[in-house]
């Protein structure tokens, strides 16, 4: 436990809690839209809410919080891109805007961090 700073653990716990609460409020306001991704998003945010609280007591759970936060960022970026597509076209090739790619890279980065911490604790 000495290698991971406490501020990093608290930061990941807090952003997971805040994002889960924000997602639950968003889903409550838009409860007329019922799709499969909405249910997955709601279940992921409930799990994030519980993991965020539990990980203040058991520090290994912050890795799961990081993975879940990465998934939430990834899904949020996908849903936002699906609702308001922002693309650039170069030589008949359509690529996503760099601001969209930042969301995907951020999600992948948090998931990668969580997986590396879990592997570190397993060794």
Tens place of pLDDT per residue across the chain (123 aa): 557 777 888 888 888 888 888 888 888 888 777 778 778 888 888 888 888 888 888 777 888 888 888 888 888 888 777 777 766 666 666 666 666 777 888 889 999 988 988 888 887
**83: three-class secondary structure by DSSP:** helix
Q: At what angle do helices 61-83 and 36-54 cross, to 10 degrees?
A: 150
- According to the model, what pLDDT value does residue 112 have? 93
CA 29 – CA 20 distance, rounded (Å):
14
User: Where are the chain's structural domains?
Assistant: 6-122
Indicate the pTM of the whole model: 0.77
């Amino acid at each position: 436990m000495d290698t991971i700073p406490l501020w990093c653990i608290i930061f990941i716990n807090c952003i997971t809690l805040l994002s889960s609460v924000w997602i639950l409020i968003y889903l409550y306001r838009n409860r007329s839209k019922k799709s499969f991704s909405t249910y997955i998003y709601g279940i992921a945010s409930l799990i994030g809410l519980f993991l965020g609280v539990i990980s203040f007591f058991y520090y290994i759970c912050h890795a799961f919080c990081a993975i879940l936060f990465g998934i939430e960022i990834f899904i949020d970026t996908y849903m936002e891109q699906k609702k308001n597509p922002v693309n650039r076209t170069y030589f008949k090739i359509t690529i996503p805007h760099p601001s969209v790619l930042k969301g995907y890279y951020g999600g992948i980065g948090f998931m990668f961090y969580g997986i590396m911490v879990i592997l570190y604790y397993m060794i």
